[in-house]
Structure 1
Amino acid sequence: MPLDPQAQALLAAFAQAGAIDFDRLTVPAYRAILAAGGAFAPGDAVAAEEQWRIPAAGGELDARLYRPRGVETPPLTVFFHGGGFVSCGLDSHANLCRTLAQRAGTLVLSVDYRLAPEARFPAAAHDACDAVRWAAASTRDLGARNGALALAGDSAGGNLAAVAALQLRGSGIAFAHQLLLYPVVDCASEHPSYASFGSGYFLTAEMMRWFKRHYFADDADRASPLASPLAAPDLAQLAPATIISAEYDPLRDEAEAYAARLAQAGTPATLVRWPGQMHGFASMLGALDAADRVLSFAARALRRAFDDANGSQEPR
């Protein structure tokens, strides 16, 4: 379908700020651009927001726990933010986390993993796995329901959620679900949507190449499952997944290919291509009606997964 009119208006506003020269752009300058940008709506109100520190092999990680209203012992979702592995953090994705927490009735633990280029691949992937292991062992301290743990993330954070699900398969941790919003799942190649939607739709192919240049050292194996879950030879026996792609997104095809690979391996996977939308739209609350709708949809998927987990505590 045509690009959503609200998305068109937002893209026009972004265009007024001028084009970015990624050949000359530094990571600090990019982070400053994001920090100076306009804020979107804050998301749903929650009962509490708590700061936590997570022990990890690469050093302690900051985290923020969002506690929903009206749920005595909620399940737990570990969330990883997007930002191309080089930017964003707890504040940039607070609105998304609040809304998921309240609408799904889940604790959301948002993890501030290490960013590149200060910490290149596989630092973020290792941080993600360490954070999930800690969360799974700390449900009592967090006030979470035992045995009900989901993974979630958007864009680069979707990559980290998928990586953690893969790397911790068979670890004894019971994963109820993976919620992947327009995830990066193939860092080794470019799919046809790079050409179809690689310019003019917020995230560009040029931006993705810039992100990857900073995330990976020259000799890094971009096809490693730690970087590219789509390249993993075996995707069986993983937690059920909900994967949401955006119609006008250079990452669309790899996200949809991942859903297909999961299903072929016997892992339950629900794929929804959100019509008329661009990459990152779920965070754009207040500017895009679709952001509100997709987060309600995602929250329902988490609720159903946690309800199903009540009937079975078998680890995945």
Structure 2
Amino acid sequence: MKNRPRIDGPEVAKVEDRTVSWRDAEVPVRIYTPAGTGPFPILIWCHGGGMVVGDLETADATARHLTVETGCVTISVDYRLAPESKFPGACDDCYAATVWASDNAASIQGDASRMAVGGDSAGGNLAAVVAQMARDRAHPDLAFQLLVYPMTSLDFETPSYVDNADGYLLTRDGMKWYWDQYLGASDDPNHPYAVPSRAGSFKNLPPALVITAEFDPLRDEGEAYAKNLEAAGVPTACTRYDGMIHGFFGMSGAVDKAGQAVSEAAAAMKKAFASK
């Protein structure tokens, strides 16, 4: 979030801020290009912040690390935030950016046949939802989904919510407030594009890596989502980082396990891209 200490990420070959257009959507993005000769795989990155806060700056260091370690073009999405823009504004923006990247891959030295979506927390929700949207709409073809302690459920009584309700940065009351801002008086608060655990089917979704933290209210719902994917035949890995709290993934360079998690994510994406 914006009040956390800012950790700088590594240098990349090129950074470009632009607005991409798809149908009626105009979505600000930041495009990170690695050193070397393309075409490169493409990662669409959705930042965290409970759908309410966060922006391209808060995601900058993570996007840089993933770009360098994976050797991919990373497109960080500055999606619309709640409460000004409620569901489905954020997921529509992230899907629009994903379709734009696929349709315009050559213009950013990207390879549309090797695309992934990823995000942390609220961004993990959006990445999971974009994967569902891409499957349901048969475009684009995604090779991977990286879900870092994703918001996937409205169940606030899981053991991880009860045990970590307070004292570990993210609180249960805070999460309830975030969801209220995003969903508001939605006619269908359990729509799978809002709450991805409500999907009617998890079949035919892209391979996944789900990363969770031990002392995180969202731990159990992330791990349950991984089990849903696995049960549907989706190649899925799930790693819990013991001793860590919500938000640790963005602390690479300052926290050893954060660096390990980013490296695990990069290795999983590279493996998925290599199989395409």
For this structure pair, what is the TM-score category when the shorter chain's length is used for normalisation?
A: over 0.9
* Amino acid of the structure 2 residue aligned with 1:216: L
TM superposition shift of 1:190:
4.2
- Distance in 2, Cα, partners of 1:127 & 1:57: 11
Using the TM superposition, give the Cα deviation of residue 220 of structure 1 relative to its aligned residue in structure 2, in angstroms: 3.9
In the alignment, what sits opposite 2:65?
A: 99
Cα displacement (A) at 1:191: 2.3
Deviations 1:179-215 (A, max 9, x none): 1111011136542211011111111111101111111
**Alignment size in residue pairs:** 275
Q: Is the 8 A contact 1:56 1:127 kept in 2?
A: no
Contact 2:144/2:207 (<8 A) preserved: yes
SS of 1:226's partner is: coil
TM-score by length of 2: 0.95
* 1:270 equivalent in alignment to 2:240: no
Q: CA deviation at 1:301?
A: 0.7
Which structure 2 segments of 5+ residues have no match?
none
Matched-pair contact (CA < 8 Å) for 1:58–1:123: no
Once the two structures are superposed, what CA deviation does each residue of 1:23-63 show, in whole Å capped at 9, x if it has no partner? xxxxxxxxxxx5454212x1222111111211145641110
Match of 1:261 among 214, 217, 228: 228
Alignment map for 1:98-137 (pairs within 5 Å): 98-137=64-103
Matched, 1:43 2:9: yes
Pick the aligned partner of 2:211 from 231, 235, 244. 244
Q: 1:293 to 1:177 in 2, by over 3 A?
A: same
Q: Answer whether contact 2:216 2:245 (CA < 8 A) is retained.
A: yes
The counterpart of 2:126, out of the listed 149, 160, 164, is: 160
- Looking at structure 2, the residues matched to 223 and 182 of structure 1 have their Cα atoms a distance apart, in angstroms, of 19
Q: Could you say which structure has the larger radius of gyration? A: 1
Is the counterpart of residue 186 in structure 1 residue 146 in structure 2?
Answer: no
Name the CA distance, whole Å, in 1 between partners of 2:223 and 2:51. Answer: 21
Q: How far off is 1:172 after superposition?
A: 3.9
2:263 is matched with which residue? 296
* Paired AA for residue 211 in structure 1: Y
**Preserved CA contact (<8 Å) 1:187 1:227:** no
Contact 1:186 1:227 in 2 (8 A): no
1:222 aligns with 2:159: no
Alignment TM-score, normalising by the size of structure 1? 0.83
Query: In the aligned structure 2, how far is the partner of 1:227 from the partner of 1:253?
Result: 18
Tell me the distance in 2 between the aligned counterparts of 1:72 and 1:132: 19
8 Å CA contact 1:185, 1:255 repeated in 2: yes
1:70: Cα distance to partner?
2.6
Which region of structure 1 is more displaced relative to structure 2, 251-260 or 187-196? 187-196
Percent pairwise identity: 39
AA aligned to 1:39 is: R
1:72-91 correspondence to structure 2 within 5 Å? 72-91=38-57
Residue in structure 2 matched with residue 52 of structure 1 by the alignment: 18
Note the residue ranges of structure 1 that are not aligned, 5 or more in a row: 1-33, 310-316
* Greater strand content: 2
Indicate the larger mover: 52-61 or 295-304: 52-61
The answer on whether the counterparts of 1:194 and 1:251 sit within 8 Å (CA) in structure 2 is yes
In 2, the alpha carbon distance for the partners of 1:72 and 1:150 equals: 16
User: For the Cα contact (< 8 Å) 1:188–1:223, is it kept in 2?
Assistant: no
* Counterpart pick for 1:138 among 104, 107, 118: 104
Structure 1 residue 287 corresponds to structure 2 residue 239: no
How far, CA to CA, are the matches of 1:57 and 1:213 in structure 2?
28
Q: CA deviation at 1:122?
A: 1.2
Once the two structures are TM-superposed, the CA of residue 88 in structure 1 deviates from its matched residue by 0.6
> Larger deviation: 50-59 or 161-170?
50-59
- By how many angstroms is 1:221 displaced? 2.2
Query: How far apart are the structure 2 equivalents of 1:48 and 1:269?
Result: 32
SS in 1 for 2:244: strand
* Residue pair 2:30, 2:56 contacting (<8 A) in 1 also: yes
